[in-house]
Structure 1
Amino acid sequence: MAEENNSINSMEQALDSFNQVQIGDVVTAEVLSIEDSQLIVGIDNSGVEGVVPLRELTSDRKADIHKLAQVGDKLELLVVRHSASDKEDGSFILSQRRIANRKAYGKMAELMSADTVVKGEVVGTVRSGLLVEVDGLRGFVPASMISDHFVRDFKSFVGQILDLKIIEVEPTKNRFVLSHKEIAAQERAQKESEIMANILPGDIIDAKVSRLTNFGAFVDLGGMDGLVHVSQISYDHVDRPADILKVGQDVKVKILDVDKDRGRVSLSIKAAQPGPWETIGEKFAAGDQIDGVVKRLTDFGAFVEVMPGIEGLVHVSQISWNHVDNPADVLKVGEKVHLKVLNVDPEQKRLGLSIKELTENPHSKAKEAKKDEQELDNYELPDEERGFALGDIVDEDSNN
């Protein structure tokens, strides 16, 4: 009878101990054994055993559980829930990782209140932003808070260490939201100030294409963007910048203008390359025959493009052998013409051209014909060709 009472008392004590352990409690437990993917622990002062799965020890699913704990270790654990199956050897499922997270959330809440900047490593991406790890706590940076300008490629951030502002900390919802936008804006402003102070019109520097639009290309000067207008991309005509350039492409640019008040820099890619006038002497010489397209008409002649960036002048006197009052009466913009090079002056950027020199002069034929006619009218046969001489007539009269 006494033994039966002792057994009942032991069961009641065990049940009381079990009832003393509640979901959400933070308890101290001893590691009793280690299996491949979980720890078996005994909760102190309760006589109750529990299980700590590997996923509740660390967020690293590839970690070696034998390196994370040893038999006899004392661990501070959170009681997560009752065990749900026979595979979970113990009365409760416990977690060490959630204890660490709870402490981390508390620390982050304090840092957010103090408006403290934290450092986080970008460990992955999702469709809507970046996944970051801050002091072992997983956080999220929404796409709109990654930078102060639109970001298309999230993957380029993976592995980077970013300075971040804490926006929201909500442990019960497992929400930890951060932002890099404000930091990025501050960093950009500082870099812009440094760049603007160190560049001058005429400088040629290395840059990288960052964005393309219909009207030009924005290039990164090392912390700020400058604009290359579509007209400054190439000496050739460019309809769409995307036909010539690609995002990420390295380019050399010449500084055209620096507007410090508005924070704008105007750039040119073509001006950083050798100009066509610098090598024109190797391509054209006086007497050459070339083709061109009429680009502009003026009172004194026509400007004809003979290659990208090179226009020569056909003076009104060199358009036709006939008198031309207005070049527009003879030529049209866009018309293709065959030309003779009269002179080349690279230093003055002048190219003299002629259309009429490659056509026959109708006036020279007319002059030759008229001259022939005049010579025929004035022509007199020599005396010997008439069959007698004046002397013969005089002598004949004398004899009579």
Structure 2
Amino acid sequence: MLLEVDGRIVPNYEATFVLFEEGDVVTGKVVRIDQDEVLVDIGYKSEGVIPINELSIRKSVDAGDEVELGEEVDALVLTKEDQDGRLMLSKKRARFEKAWRRIEAAAESGEPVEGTVIEVVKGGLIIDLGVRGFLPASLVDIRRVQNLDEFLAQKIICKVIELNRSRNNVVLSRRAVLEEERKEVRQQILDRLQPGQVVEGAISNIVDFGAFVDLDGIDGLIHISELSWSHVNHPSEILSIGDVVPVKVLDIDRERQRISLGLKQTQEDPWQRIVDSYNLGDELEGKVTKVVTFGAFVEIMDGVEGLVHISELAQHHVENPREIVEPGQEVKVKVL
């Protein structure tokens, strides 16, 4: 296009430039990287300028880490021209708008989003999603995390649980993703297990009524009565957390996702040895393990105790079994 200036016809170069408005998102090529700004060729009469604080949502950045020479970037027009006639641009705000639409869609659909941990703050982590997302410490993992610093610079997947555009507020949960994955793994394990199977697992917790076993993603319970063929006062007598043990699947409640396990069922039944080894009338030697009001228990083989009733303790009448025997005493008994 031509223009008449002082009676002369000259090319109107400005008419060939694209006109930009504040808020427009433009695409350009990085032509220079300085310490405090980046110059971008966007097809305007002068390069667009991205100040260092408009490069990234991170608080402290190096321009060379954010862009490369020749790289094409999207940027939002902040001001049409500064005092030097340059367009002021923002890379982070262009990315913000695009990211916000993606995050909104993820929040509506329930799909997870991926971001990089860029800061550890009081109460949680800051995630770079193109928008600053906050991940509370309580929602970082299923179990409490002692050291949040170990997540710095890691890429993690989270669900969006709270979104507020007016405050640019995004709250995330990694725990929700892990729980969903765990549920799927639990279901896969439940589908694979059948009563009667013998599997291996690690003791994950010990309680008064038994021990929990981690079966690669789902816990099963060994009730205290299924720990040993002999009497057990507390599971900690025979097991420790971390022990790897073989267990037999006794029952599966697939609806409630509960698995009942047995440890003693993986060992030889000592009572069967008794049946095979002794007959009625046989005399044996044993050790008194417990004295009760109605008699005394005598161990005649590892894991096997028999009861001597109070009426069988002596030829004469006995008021209290402790008159005749005491724990630890070696005695001779007959199989009745």
Partner of 2:91: 96
Question: Contact 1:294/1:305 (CA < 8 Å) preserved in 2?
Answer: no
Q: How far apart are the structure 2 equivalents of 1:242 and 1:119?
A: 47
Count of aligned positions:
301
Q: C-alpha distance in 2, partners of 1:41/1:100?
A: 16
Asked if structure 2 preserves the Cα contact closer than 8 Å seen for 1:210 and 1:220, the reply is yes
Alignment of 1:205 onto 2:204: no
Post-superposition Cα deviations, 1:223-273, rounded to whole Å, max 9, x if no partner, equal 433223345456574547599433x65443222322345442222344445
Verify: 1:77 aligned to 2:46, yes or no: no
Structure 1 residues 194 and 55: CA distance shift in structure 2, 3 A: same
Residue 64 of structure 1, CA deviation: 7.5
In structure 1, the residue matched to 2:327 is: 336
State the Cα deviation string for residues 1-30 of structure 1 (Å, max 9, x = none). xxxxxxxxxxxxxxxxxxx986x6656677
Q: Could you say which residue in structure 1 is the equivalent of 2:163? A: 169
Partner of 1:303: 297
Aligned ranges 1:232-381 → 2 under 5 Å: 232-233=226-227, 237-239=232-234, 241=236, 244-246=239-241, 250-273=244-267, 291-296=287-292, 298=294, 302-305=296-299, 309-314=303-308, 319-320=313-314, 323-326=315-318, 328-331=319-322, 335-340=326-331
Q: Secondary structure in 2 aligned to 1:151?
A: coil
Give the alignment of 1:138-217 within 5 angstroms.
Answer: 139-142=133-136, 151-153=143-145, 162=157, 164-179=158-173, 187-217=181-211
**How far is the alpha carbon of 1:65 from its aligned partner?**
1.0
| Aligned counterpart, 2:103 | 108
- Relative to 1, partners in 2 of residues 1:53 and 1:131: Cα closer, same or farther, differing over 3 Å? closer
| Residue 96 of structure 1, CA deviation | 1.3
The TM-score, its normalising length taken from structure 2, stands at 0.62
How many angstroms does 1:45 deviate by?
4.9
Closer, same or farther: CA 264–33 of 1 in aligned 2, 3 Å: closer
3-state DSSP of counterpart to 2:143: coil
Q: TM-score, normalised by structure 1?
A: 0.54
Structure 1 stretch 92-101 or stretch 124-133: which is displaced more? Answer: 124-133
2:37 and 2:324 map into 1 onto residues whose CA distance is: 84
Unaligned 5+ residue runs, structure 1? Answer: 1-19, 82-88, 281-285, 344-351, 354-400
For the residues of structure 1 that align with 2:283 and 2:255, how far apart are their CA atoms? 52
Q: Following TM superposition, by how much is the alpha carbon of 1:104 offset from its aligned partner in structure 2, in angstroms?
A: 1.0
Q: Secondary structure at the match of 1:65?
A: helix
Aligned equivalents of 1:329, 1:297: Cα separation in 2: 7
Q: Which residue of 1 aligns with 2:51?
A: 52
Residue 109 of structure 1 deviates from its aligned partner by 1.4
Larger radius of gyration: 1
What CA deviation, in whole Å up to 9, does each residue of 1:29-50 have, x standing for no partner?
7756323564255887576874
- Greater share of residues in strand: 2
Structure 1 pair 306–154 and aligned structure 2 pair: CA distance change class (3 A):
farther
Q: What does residue 224 of structure 1 align with?
A: 218
- 1:324-364, Cα deviation, whole Å (9 max, x unpaired): 334x5332799424214558xxxxxxxx69xxxxxxxxxxx
Q: Residue type matched to 2:102 in 1? A: K
- 1:103 partner SS: helix
Does the 8 Å contact 1:130/1:141 carry over to 2? yes
Instruction: Provide closer, same or farther for how the CA distance between residues 95 and 312 of structure 1 changes in structure 2, counting only shifts above 3 A.
Output: same
Q: Which has the higher contact order (CA 8 A, sep 6+)?
A: 2
Q: Is the CA contact 1:212–1:242 (under 8 Å) kept in the aligned structure 2?
A: no
- Percent identity reads 30
Q: 1:334 to 1:153 in 2, by over 3 A?
A: farther
Query: Can you give the 5+ residue segments of structure 2 that lack an aligned partner in the other structure?
Result: 1-19, 275-281
Question: 1:315–1:100: structure 2 CA closer, same or farther, 3 Å change rule?
Answer: same
Q: Are the structure 2 counterparts of residues 199 and 48 from structure 1 closer, same or farther at C-alpha, using a change threshold of 3 Å?
A: closer
> What is the deviation of 1:98?
3.0
- CA contact 2:46–2:86 (8 Å) conserved in 1: no
Separation of aligned partners in 1, 2:126 and 2:195: 42
CA–CA separation in structure 2 for the residues paired with 1:90 and 1:295: 100
SS at match of 2:102: helix
How far did residue 206 of structure 1 move?
1.9
